[in-house]
Structure 1
């Protein structure tokens, strides 16, 4: 009888096990702007200062900055956020455009702006409902921002879902 049980167990093991079901986990990645952003043109290099806690326009005119968000390759990005500071004694408006996609022919452009009170901070975010119908998440995310003098980017953040197996 003992041999019969061992034979049955061997048969079940040889038959294989069902594939593990996918398990999604929600994650968030924050990249400091010193690693994610740079001046958009050499002409802005002299006024954009990369600080440990932000990328700041220290010039007297607006400057353009480009940032790229970090997301693992197979993750499905569900939200992207840029946070800003305003060190001026007056309100300022920062304008950015999200560029989602891998090529010029497939990229989606979504502009946005936020008015930030004097000596304060604020953020702007994008979610998939801002994408064309049928696109459920951001394949990639990069930004082009116009920073008025005395303003800076303090955080680049992505929220995403990742399949981690069972």
Structure 2
């Protein structure tokens, strides 16, 4: 009977130590250039888009829809922010609209649209954070759909996430 008591006590102590000494979490970022992660949503859009090493730019005379996917880590603890960086290469301020598509499969996909004013010849981020939508985290699948006006380029798409030390 004493051996069983010792084994149970040891198991409880080890379980408590595991909980109390959980590995620390680390902040991390997954980002890629839009030229590798984005494409026009229709062949007609692609004729207006120029894919360069550091951006995908709308060189046409009308807006083009672009879809992007962000490489995501395997099972992060949380996804803390999503971002698209855009550059306005025109001489006038322009509104750029993108939708963060949070999720991998229907019916659980949630759409979070945003529009930002980008000054003339300037660079701006479009940032989504879970708290804006009364969430504590986003899903690990991150996709974007952007309506890219003429003269605007998408530069980088990315995520900030928290990873446990055990995942490293």
Shorter-chain TM-score range: 0.7 to 0.9
Kindly state the Cα deviation for residue 158 of structure 1 after the two structures are TM-superposed.
1.0
* Distance in 1 of aligned mates of 2:162 and 2:112: 22
CA shift at 1:132, angstroms? 5.3
Larger radius of gyration: 1
Q: Which runs of 4+ in 1 moved over 6 A?
A: none
Equivalent positions of 1:25-44 (< 5 A) are 25-44=26-45
User: Over residues 106-155 of structure 1, what are the superposed CA-to-partner deviations in whole Å (9 max), with x where a residue is unaligned?
Assistant: 0111100011111111111111113455x533331111000000001111
How many equivalent pairs are there?
151
TM-score (norm 1): 0.83
Q: TM-score scaled by structure 2?
A: 0.82
- Residue aligning to 1:118: 120
Q: Provide the C-alpha distance between the structure 2 equivalents of 1:53 and 1:35, rounded to a whole number of angstroms.
A: 9
Alpha-carbon shift at residue 70 of structure 1 (Å): 1.9
RMSD of aligned residue pairs (Cα, Å): 2.1
Residue 89 of structure 1 contacts residue 118 of structure 1 at CA under 8 Å; is this kept in 2? yes
Confirm or deny: 8 A CA contact 1:92 1:115 kept in the other structure: yes
Preserved contact between residue 83 and residue 156 of structure 1 (Cα < 8 Å): yes
Gaps of at least 5 residues in structure 2 are 1-9
- Equivalent-residue separation in structure 2 for 1:72 and 1:136 (angstroms): 14
Between the aligned partners of 2:88 and 2:144, the Cα distance in structure 1 is 19
Whether 2:26 is the aligned partner of 1:22: answer no
* C-alpha contact 2:79 2:137 (8 A) present in aligned 1: no
- Separation in 2, partners of 1:121, 1:81: 13
* CA deviation profile, 1:54-93 (whole Å, cap 9, x unmatched): 1100101000000111220211211111110011111111
**What are the ranges of 5 or more consecutive residues in structure 1 without an aligned counterpart?**
1-14
